[in-house]
Chains A and B, each alone.
Chain A
Amino acid sequence: MNWLRQLFSRRRMYAELSEEIREHLEEKTEELVARGMSREEAAYAARREFGNVHLVEEDGRDVWRWPSIESFFADVRHALRTLRHNPVFTAVGLLTIAIGIGANAAVFSVVNSVLLQPLNYPRSQELIALHQIAPGAAGLADFRNGLLLSPSMYFTYAEQNRTFQALGVWVPGAANVTGLAEPEQVRTVYVSDGALHALAVPPAAGRWLSQADQDPHGPERVMLSYGYWQRRFGAEQAAVGRNISVDSRPREIVGVMPQGFRFLDADFDVIVPLAFDRGKAILAGFGFHGIARLKPGVAIAQANADIARMLPIWMDSWSNGPGTNPHIYETWKITPTLRPLKQEVLGNVSDVLWVVMGTIGLVLLIACANVANLLLVRIESRQQELAVRAALGAGWRRIVRGLLAESVLLGLMGGALGVGLAYAGVRGLVAAGPTDLRGVSEISLDARTLGFAFILSVLSGLLFGLFPALKYAGQRTALALRSAARTTSASLERHRARNLLVMGQMAMAVVLLASAGLMIRTFEALRTVDPGFADAQHLQLVRISIPDSLVAEPERVTRMQNEIVDKLRAIPGVSSAGFASEMPMEGFDSDWDAIYAQDKTYADDEIPPLRLYKHLSPGFLQAAGTGIIAGRDLTWPEVYGRRPVVMVSENLAREMWGSPSAAIGKRLREFPNTPWYEVIGVVQDVRENGVQQKAPEIVYWSSLPVDTRWADVWRTMTFALRSDRAGSQSFLNEIRQAVWSVNSNLPLASVRSMQEVFDKSVARTSFTLVMLAIAGAMAVALGMIGIYGVISYSVSQRRREIGIRLALGAQRGDVLQMIVREGAKTALAGVAIGIAAALLLTQLMRSLLFGVSAQDPLTFACVAAVLILVALLASYLPARRAMLVDPVVALRYE
């Protein structure tokens, strides 16, 4: 191990080299003395002949070094020394970088766990969502999830496909579990055979639901989530095999899914088999999400072709009943558009996250600009030090390398601090982030994030180190050992780099503020939209489900629901109450009907546009604060009398009959062979899919169908109570008592106020707003510090000049103006560049905006005004100091 020996004997070698050189010089000197020179002259001559002793020693030592690493360490040591000797500079620099890197690391950790990590299933790249569209089906354009699958489609696809390893359908829902503790409504996922096989996550205990469990006439089985198993069974192995009562029917627990398993983005408590009855399946009933696992090596395009091949088979194999034409679906132009499961799960979250990541990246650039400015100031005061080092024989490369080492070290130390900040920040983000984000709970600072922070630190260090290094490299020819203390007036040249940096900072601040401003405008626009319900804060919601095993007979279900409403209305402080199948903005996949109007004619195989429908009780609209524009509300006698009456939304009334009042008395139906319903009321439009989305056309049926041959009574209803007491604990207790006084087996689920539903539906917008606002505020603060720093420094450099001006009779006001103008000029240029850039960049966030253009003039004007004001303020402070310069003092000091 030669190099190892060298490493240890190196110190001795260096000493020997030094001694050898010393001896050489002495021998030479003595020889010269012997020839008659004076000792002094001889020593000088010896040195001159020898050359630069330090350089020779350094070169000699270099021979033994691992060249780059060691001089790197030497640079680092030197850098550490320099940083330690300038504590204020170091602290300011470190803090700036730490904030910049910390914010980036925090956001990156979110992007990483949400966007970059694969889904938490084995070989998840094989998983696809069976997404399909039906451009020919009018009304379907409003479908949030394209065209879902019907049970018959599932049967066809599962049995006839050539490209999938496994294929299944699923749908989220809710069920009542009784007999364990208090009756409880749990979140369920209903699955067909194949769905669990596609996801391929093995159970933590027991087994999967099997094909046999999907038999509608076979024994009823269920699987539990890990969380539910822990909560209700203490994670006992013996739970498998026990029975629980789901919707009042006993079901045997056959297995438990492992911890952290989610069904796509759905958290659930139990998995229940769908158990389709093959004999009853018809073509229609497009209500199920399809998932599948591709065979290895199969591309999505092949799978699409495979589905397209099976569609005719599907139409040939099933029907909608006698006398219907199964090929009417050809007019729908059903087209498979399968997509990777990951894309399905993420939706448009990626837009939000990339915008946030981009803005935070800009903040880091601004921070770098600030540190670069600090370094530029410092290198001016270090001219002498550098000149001395150069004179001692340091090559300019070596010095530049040293400067870069210093800034990279600063970057790394700041990065380390920043990671600490990010750790705290991530907790904040998880708390503030939209809760429906996949993987938010798993966000952590993993190795990838740390690596990202490390690379970012080095890059930032190089970036802000580049400015002083370039400046030094540019100046070194002119570098002299002159005293830097006595400066002439600062030339424009010396300030150009710093002014450019400040200009860049201002420009980036404009971009950030503009995007934050656009989000604020979006939020404002959202607030002014009438969502179709009123005073959401005082609207208490609770979801109650009456399973058919508890109450079988439809009318008795309605009577029970009616009784609950009456009890709820009797609670002190409740002004009105009612129930409906779904509340707006809950994110449920809605129910759709093809609606025929009596006064329109339809071709034989024509299917009229599909409309969203809901079931509601008399009084619900009043409780929700949804206005009735024409006609009247449903009444209880009409419900029990099975009167064929219906209400429609305003936009549907206008579309079909021209005006709300014209709709009253008109008739419509949902199938060609069902009875006609009379329109008795027209209801205000409701922003069902969120404030950003336009209100869909809606048909409102009574909760008790006119003819139970066509539809079952709606058993799961959200009860809405209007009260000033909404949300208080005593109020909730009274609600519970009221419901249990009707039937003590009824669990209350999803207890919340309408405001919470609303807030959740705008969570992404508010999250983006908060993030952009934070980024914008940081940008303004950093930009202000930047301008202030540049102007103050220039003032301190120009004290003499200002002193002379004042001595020659310049007014103090003139001096003030001169300095402020300098700052304003830089700021204006920066703002102009920034606005140009922002006009382009805000295009990228168009999908996040609502009710405001990406080039909103008001926003841009305000941002420009704010930044110019900030710049004026930042230059006013040092300008005032300049104004107060005492010419006598200023001139004497020099």
Chain B
Amino acid sequence: MKNNSKRDLFPGALEMMILRTLRGQPLHGYALVQHIKRTSRDLLQIEEGSLYPALQRLLKAELVKADWSVSSTNRRVRTYRLTAAGAKHLLRQVSSFERMLEGITRVLATGES
């Protein structure tokens, strides 16, 4: 699997955020990216396009599934929703991420004192 080399996030971060967002509600790609941008208050500089390869990876791993439908704005959209495997994967990822974050935070804190 090819890694996105020019991504400021660490590998897997985008996927994690996608899964987290989809746990709330099924969304199509455009709505998904707007939601992530909005929620992160644009702090993360995500190229909108970079979402799609990540979605393809999740599809391939069968962590999400997608269906074509017609949106409220009468637009043909592909809506993604979380699978059971995806929900489980998200739990694991989040807890391991939180541990990592805690570790980093502690190191940074000792550096200051």
Chain A residues with CB under 8 Å of chain B are: 6, 13, 16-17, 19-21, 23-24, 26-28, 49-53, 55-57, 59-64, 67
CA distance A52 to B53 in the complex (A): 12
Within B15-62, the residues touching A (CB, 8 Å) are 28-30, 33, 47-50, 52-53, 55-57, 59-60
Nearest CB in chain B: distance from A29 CB, A? 11
Known pairs A60-B56, A62-B2, A64-B60; A51 contacts B78 (CB<8 A): no
| Contact surface of B with A, Cβ cutoff 8 Å | 1-2, 4, 28-30, 33, 47-50, 52-53, 55-57, 59-60, 68, 73, 75-78
Report Cα–Cα, A216/B30, bound state, in Å.
104
Determine whether the beta carbon of A52 is less than 8 Å from that of B56. Answer: no
A63 touching B47, Cβ below 8 Å:
no
In the assembled complex, the Cα of A212 lies from the Cα of B2 at a distance in Å of 78
Contacts of A27 in B (CB 8 A): 30, 73, 75
What is the bound-complex CA distance between A17 and B49, given in angstroms?
Answer: 11
In the bound complex, how far is the Cα of B49 from the Cα of A53, in angstroms?
A: 7
Residue numbers in B under 8 Å from A55 (CB-CB): 49
Please state if B49 and A51 are interface contacts (CB–CB under 8 Å). Answer: yes
Contacts of A13 in B (CB 8 A): 56
B5 nearest in chain A by CB position: A395
Chain A residue numbers with a CB within 8 Å of B52 are 17, 20-21, 24, 56-57, 59-60
A residues near B50, Cβ cutoff 8 Å: 51, 56
**Contact of A28 with B48 at beta-carbon distance under 8 Å, contacts A56-B53, A60-B53 already known:** yes
Q: Which 6 residue pairs across A and B have the least CB separation, nearest first?
A: A51-B49, A51-B47, A56-B49, A59-B53, A63-B56, A50-B49
Chain B residues in 8 Å Cβ range of A17:
52, 56
Measured in the bound complex, the distance between the Cα atoms of B48 and A138 in whole Å is: 95
Q: Which residues of A contact B1 (CB under 8 A)?
A: 62-63, 67
Give the complex CA separation of A666 and B61 in angstroms.
Answer: 104
Please name 22 pairs of A and B residues whose Cβ atoms are closer than 8 Å in the assembled complex, sorted by A: A23-B76, A23-B77, A27-B73, A49-B47, A50-B47, A50-B48, A50-B49, A51-B49, A51-B50, A52-B49, A55-B49, A56-B50, A59-B53, A60-B53, A60-B55, A60-B56, A61-B56, A62-B2, A63-B59, A63-B60, A64-B56, A67-B2
- A34 CA / B76 CA spacing, docked (Å): 19
Name the distance in Å between A126's Cβ and chain B's nearest Cβ.
Answer: 54
Complex alpha-carbon distance, A24 and B4, angstroms: 20
Nearest residue (CB) in B for A63 is B56
| Contact A63 B53, CB 8 Å, known A49-B47, A51-B47 | yes
- CB of B101 to closest CB in A, whole Å: 27
A53 to chain B: closest residue by CB: B49
Beta-carbon nearest neighbor of B4 in chain A:
A59
CB A292 to nearest CB in B, in angstroms, measures 63
CB distance from B44 to the nearest CB of A (A): 14
In addition to A24-B33, A59-B4, 15 A-B residue pairs with Cβ atoms within 8 Å of each other are: A20-B52, A21-B49, A23-B29, A23-B30, A24-B30, A24-B48, A26-B75, A50-B49, A51-B47, A55-B49, A56-B50, A56-B53, A57-B52, A63-B53, A63-B56
**Complex Cα–Cα for A504 and B75 (A):** 66
Determine the chain B residues whose CB is within 8 A of the CB of A64 once the complex forms: 56, 60
Residues of B contacting A6 in the complex (Cβ-Cβ under 8 angstroms): 60
Write the chain B residue with the least CB distance to A54: B49
Task: Tell whether, in the assembled complex, residue A16 and residue B48 are in contact, meaning their CB atoms are under 8 Å apart.
Answer: no
Q: Once bound together, how far apart are the Cα atoms of A60 and B4, in whole Å?
A: 11
Contacting residues, chain A, for B49 (C-beta < 8 A): 21, 50-53, 55-56
A62 and B56 alpha carbons, distance in the complex (Å): 9
In the complex, the answer to whether A16 meets B78 with C-beta atoms within 8 Å is yes
Q: In the bound complex, how far is the Cα of B2 from the Cα of A62, in angstroms? A: 7
* A46, chain B: closest CB distance, angstroms: 8
Complex Cα distance A833/B57, Å? 56
| Bound-complex Cα distance A13 to B33 (A) | 20
Task: Look across to chain B and name the residue whose beta carbon is closest to the beta carbon of A55.
Answer: B49
Contacts of B4 in A (CB 8 A): 59
Within the assembled complex, what's the spacing in Å between the Cα atoms of A19 and B73? 17
In the complex formed, the residue of A with least CB distance to B37 is: A49
What residues of B have a CB within 8 angstroms of the CB of A26 in the complex?
Answer: 75
Q: Is the CB of A59 within 8 A of B48?
A: no
Q: How far is the CA of A50 from the CA of B59 in the complex (A)?
A: 21
CA distance A64 to B55 in the complex (A): 12
Which partner residue on chain B sits nearest A24 by CB separation?
Answer: B30
Q: State in angstroms the CA–CA spacing of A753 and B25 once bound together.
A: 101
Shortest Cβ gap from B35 to chain A (Å): 13
A61 to B33, CA, bound (A): 20
Report which residue of B4, B30, B50, B52 has the largest number of chain A beta carbons within 10 angstroms of its beta carbon: B52
B47 CB to closest chain A CB (Å) equals 4
A63 proximity list for chain B (CB < 8 A): 1-2, 53, 56-57, 59-60
Shortest CB distance B80–A (Å): 10
Chain B min CB distance to A348 (Å): 57
A167–B43 alpha-carbon span in the complex (Å): 90
Whether A49 pairs with B29 at a CB distance below 8 angstroms is no
CB-defined contacts of A56 to chain B, threshold 8 Å = 49-50, 52-53
Is A24 a contact of B56 with CB atoms below 8 Å? no
Chain B residues with Cβ under 8 A from A59's Cβ?
2, 4, 52-53
Give B69 Cβ to nearest chain A Cβ, in Å.
12
Which residue on chain A has the smallest CB distance to residue B73? A27
Task: Give every chain A residue within 8 A of B60 (Cβ-Cβ).
Answer: 6, 63-64
Most buried by B among A51, A62, A67: A51
Bound Cα distance A49, B52 (Å): 13
Q: Is the CB of B53 within 8 A of A28?
A: no
Residues of A with C-beta under 8 A to B78? 16, 20
In contact, B29 and A20 (Cβ under 8 angstroms)? yes
Chain A residues in 8 Å Cβ range of B28 = 20
A6 to B61, CA, bound (A): 12
Which B residues are CB-close (under 8 A) to A16?
Answer: 68, 78
Nearest-CB distance from B86 to chain A (Å)?
A: 16
Chain A residues lying within 8 Å of B77, measured Cβ to Cβ, are 20, 23
Q: Taking the nearest CB of chain B, how far is it from the CB of A640, in angstroms? A: 100
CB distance B29 to A24 under 8 Å?
yes
* Residues in B neighbouring A21, C-beta threshold 8 A: 49, 52
- CA of A20 to CA of B59 in the docked complex: distance in angstroms? 14
Choice from B30, B56, B57 contacting A28 with Cβ under 8 Å = B30
Residue of A nearest to B62 (CB): A2
By a CB distance below 8 angstroms, the chain B residues around A20 are 28-29, 52, 77-78
Complex Cα gap A27–B50 (Å): 17
Q: How far is the CA of A28 from the CA of B77 in the complex (A)?
A: 13
Q: How far is the CA of A50 from the CA of B76 in the complex (A)?
A: 19
Chain A residues with CB under 8 A of B57: 63
Give the interface centre of B2, B4, B49, B53 by most chain A CB atoms within 10 Å: B49
CA distance A26 to B74 in the complex (A): 13
Report the minimum CB–CB distance from A47 to chain B (whole Å): 9
Chain B residues with CB under 8 Å of A53's CB are 49
Q: Which of A13, A17, A20 is the most central at the interface, judged by chain B CB atoms within 10 Å of its CB? A: A20
What chain B residues lie within 8 Å of A61 (beta carbons)? 56
B33 / chain A contacts, CB cutoff of 8 Å: 24
Cα(A20)–Cα(B75), bound, Å:
11
Which residues of chain A are near B47, meaning CB under 8 Å? 49-51
B contact residues around A52 at 8 Å (CB): 49
Q: Give the complex CA separation of A27 and B72 in angstroms.
A: 12
Find out whether the CB atom of B56 lies under 8 angstroms from the CB atom of A49: no
Q: How far does the alpha carbon of A51 sit from the alpha carbon of B7 in the complex, in Å?
A: 12
- Report the Cα distance A51→B2, complex, angstroms: 18
A49 — nearest CB in chain B belongs to which residue? Answer: B48
- Report the separation of the CA atoms of residues A56 and B29 in the bound assembly, to the nearest whole angstrom: 13
B contact residues around A23 at 8 Å (CB): 29-30, 75-77
Most chain A CB within 10 A, of B30, B57, B75, is at B30
CB neighbours (8 Å) of A28 from chain B are: 30, 48
Q: How far is the CA of A317 from the CA of B33 in the complex (A)?
A: 103
In the complex, what distance in Å separates the CA atom of A481 from the CA atom of B10? 33
Considering residues B29, B48, B50, which has the most beta carbons from chain A within 10 angstroms of its beta carbon? B48
Give the distance in Å from the alpha carbon of A26 to the alpha carbon of B4 in the complex.
25
